[in-house]
Amino acid sequence: MSQNLSQTFLAITRNPTDQEWLQSALAPLGQVVSAGGGSLDELLALVDVTFASLVFVGLDRENVVAQCAMIEGALEAKPMLAIVALGDGMDNQLVLNAMRAGARDFVAYGSRASEVAGLVRRLGKRLPPVAHSTLLGGLTVLYSTQGNGDGALIASHLALVVQKSGQQTLLLDLGLPRGDSLALLGLESSFNFGDALRHLRRLDATLIDSAFTRAEAGLRILAYAPGDEPLKRTSAAELYMLLSALRQHFQHIVVNLTGQSDSEALRTFVSHCDKLLWRTDQSVLDCRRNLAVLNLWREKGMKLDHARLLVDSYLRSVAPDAETLGKTFGMEVIAVLALSPELRLNAKNQGVSLFELAPRESLTQSLHTLGERLAKRSEGLAKPKGGWLSRLRGTPP
């Protein structure tokens, strides 16, 4: 879904620990996406939207018949797919069943990372080249460990600029506190993030047009409602399919994830966006919390070449300055946003955008410039029509 990762692999494992082991082993090569509970339909849908050519399937004695049947079904539907079985390397019967079902190879749980990566590299040389879709819209993520209304303020203004550039844009507000983008723009919504997940197979242009909240200039907003499940309980497979569906209907999506704690779901967004804007201010506490997550992700091998530092609520007379923060985070500083407390408060209280309230202020101008920079990344994308959802329903695109 982005150019940051060379490959996407799918995996059906026994538990999150096995998934994490596999991701750690393959971190230099790409992203491992959990294929959920092992449904063949879900697996095939994920193959379609991720363009994955390699799938890992865990086997165990209790469920080996069903697991091998799924391998056979996947290969029948996708003959060019490569499947690697996972299991107890000492159980010769599991290995034999996996090979009979059509698995290309067998990897024992807990194998050394170098062995797993080496196997994947060897298989990759024999597989057809992965064809990535050129029709998917741009995806920008705003993230910070600190959750407050400023995250929604920034994300909503960036999305407005991209929308006004002539691109069909969605603001996906999953930041904490929940739903601040709607309140900031004086809007309400009856269709939220949780609804979109529940109606994933119905998520077409008609539903988007009728249910998604419309803001200034035609910007669409899909927000996190108080009754929605916590983001960490949303599977990577669900998120991947939702994002793929939305990116076929919008030329650009701006996602607010400020305040979210580390989880597989959060990492899915971060790993598959085109641009990650990592927001921090100059306070030691905020920097320390952000750096703790950043360093953890780097230790786990996550590729963050697409990350840029966004220094918010900036005071030039206070240390550390923007240049020092950039060196500390090991990121290019993409923008510096002035503190402007009165302006921010007035915008929040009045439900009016900064572009209308104070178009010439430094904060407003900085947001406008950054929004234009994001818009240029997806300005050449035409709105796609149809796609994998149409294929799943058996209707023509």
- 388: closest CA among 46, 130, 1? 46
Tell me: pLDDT of 237 over 90: no
pLDDT value at residue 381: 61
Q: Which residue has the higher pLDDT, 222 or 131?
A: 222
Where exactly are the structural domains of the chain? Answer: 7-126, 138-376
> Residue 343's Cα: distance from chain center in Å?
31
369 three-class SS: helix
Task: Yes or no: say if 311 and 333 are a contact pair by the CB < 8 Å rule.
Answer: yes
pLDDT value at residue 2: 46
pLDDT value at residue 391: 39
For residue 141, list its beta bridge partners.
Answer: 255, 276
Q: What is the strand order of the sheet 82-87 is part of?
A: 30-34, 7-12, 54-58, 82-87, 105-108
Q: How confident is the model at residue 127 (pLDDT cuts 50, 70, 90)?
A: confident
Q: Which residue has the higher pLDDT, 378 or 135?
A: 378
Average pLDDT over residues 371-377: 92
pLDDT value at residue 7: 85
- For residue 136, the one-letter residue type is L
CATH architecture of 7-126: 3-Layer(aba) Sandwich (3.40)
Average pLDDT over residues 66-88: 95
Which helix (H) or strand (E) segment holds residue 10: the answer is strand 7-12
pLDDT value at residue 380: 64
- Give the Cα separation of 220 and 250 in Å (integer): 9
Return mean pLDDT, the chain: 90
- 16: closest CA among 28, 32, 29? 32
Q: Which residue has the higher pLDDT, 395 or 328?
A: 328
For residue 330, list its beta bridge partners.
Answer: none
Tell me: pLDDT of 73 over 90: yes
Q: What is the pTM of this model?
A: 0.86
- 311: closest CA among 325, 327, 293, 295? 325
Residue 273: phi and psi, rounded to 5, are: -85, 165
Which helix (H) or strand (E) segment holds residue 233: the answer is none
Q: How confident is the model at residue 131 (pLDDT cuts 50, 70, 90)?
A: low
pLDDT tens digits along 147-165: 999 999 999 999 999 999 9
End-to-end Cα distance, the chain = 20
Average pLDDT over residues 277-292: 98
Tell me: pLDDT of 190 over 60: yes
Average pLDDT over residues 45-73: 93
Average pLDDT over residues 365-382: 87
Calculate ∠ Cα 32-137-218, nearest 5°: 135
- For residue 38, the one-letter residue type is G
pLDDT value at residue 274: 93
Tell me: pLDDT of 396 over 70: no
138-376 has CATH 3.10.20.30 classification:
no
Q: What is the strand order of the sheet 333-338 is part of?
A: 213-214, 220-223, 169-173, 252-256, 138-143, 275-280, 307-314, 333-338
Tell me: pLDDT of 235 over 70: yes
Percent share of the chain, pLDDT over 70: 92
The residue assigned the tokens 């026994």 is 14
pLDDT value at residue 395: 38
* Of the candidate ranges 30-34, 112-116, 250-254, 359-363, the one whose mean pLDDT is the lowest: 30-34
pLDDT value at residue 387: 43
Preceding amide of 177 cis, omega within 30: yes
- Give the Cα separation of 230 and 315 in Å (integer): 34
Task: Yes or no: say if 237 and 34 are a contact pair by the CB < 8 Å rule.
Answer: yes
Average pLDDT over residues 335-351: 96
Tell me: pLDDT of 166 over 60: yes
- Please indicate whether the domains covering 7-126 and 138-376 agree at the CATH topology level: yes
Percent share of the chain, pLDDT over 90: 75
Tell me: pLDDT of 72 over 80: yes
Tell me: pLDDT of 111 over 90: yes
Tell me: pLDDT of 393 over 60: no
pLDDT value at residue 130: 59
Average pLDDT over residues 102-122: 95
15-27 burial, b at 16+ Cβ within 10 Å, e below that, comes to: eeebbebbbebbb
pLDDT value at residue 6: 56
- Give the Cα separation of 351 and 305 in Å (integer): 35
Q: How confident is the model at residue 390 (pLDDT cuts 50, 70, 90)?
A: very low
